[in-house]
Amino acid sequence: AQERYASIRDLPATSECGQRIVLYMNAGLMADLPSLKGSGAEGVGLFRTELQFLIRSKVPRRGELASLYGRVMDAAGGRRVAFRTLDIGSDKVLAYMKPTEEPNPALGWRAIRVGLDKKGVMRMQLQALIRGAAGRPLTIMFPFVAQFDEFRQARAMLLSEMERERKLGHVLPERVDVGAMLETPSLAFAPRQFFEMADFISIGGNDLKQFFFAADRENERVRRRYDTLNVSFLSFLEQIVDRCAETGTPLSFCGEDAGRPIEAICFAAMGLRALSMRPASIGPVKHLIRQTNLTDLRAVIEAAKRDGSQSVRPAVMEFLGAKG
CB of 227 vs ligand PEP, minimal distance in Å: 16
Work out whether the CA dihedral 82, 85, 90, 95 comes out positive or negative.
positive
Which one, 204 or 279, has the nearer CB to Mg ion?
Answer: 204
247 binds ligand PEP (CB under 6 A): no
Contact with ligand PEP (CB under 6 A) among 21, 128, 234, 254: 254
What residues between 73 and 102 interact with Mg ion by CB under 5 A? none
For residue 263, the partner it binds in ligand PEP, Mg ion, none, with Cβ less than 5 to 8 A by kind, is none
CA distances from 296 to 15, 232, 247, 265, 291 (A): 11, 20, 27, 11, 12
Sequence-distant (≥ 6) Cβ neighbours of residue 54 within 8 angstroms: 88, 92, 94, 95
Q: Report the residue from 115, 132, 173, 204 that binds ligand PEP according to the rule CB under 6 A.
A: 204
Contact string 148-187 vs ligand PEP (x = CB under 6 A): -----------------------------------x----
CB of 187 to ligand PEP, least distance (A): 12
Given 40, 43, 255, 259, the residue binding ligand PEP (CB under 6 A): 255
Which span (14-22, 119-127, 152-160, 196-204) binds Mg ion, by CB under 5 A?
Answer: 196-204
User: Rounded distance, CA 26 to CA 259, Å?
Assistant: 10
Binding to ligand PEP by CB under 6 A, coded x per residue (else -) over 17-56, reads -----------------------------x-x--------
Residues at the interface with ligand PEP (CB under 6 A): 46, 48, 87, 183, 204-207, 254-255
Residues at the interface with Mg ion (CB under 5 A): 183, 204, 207
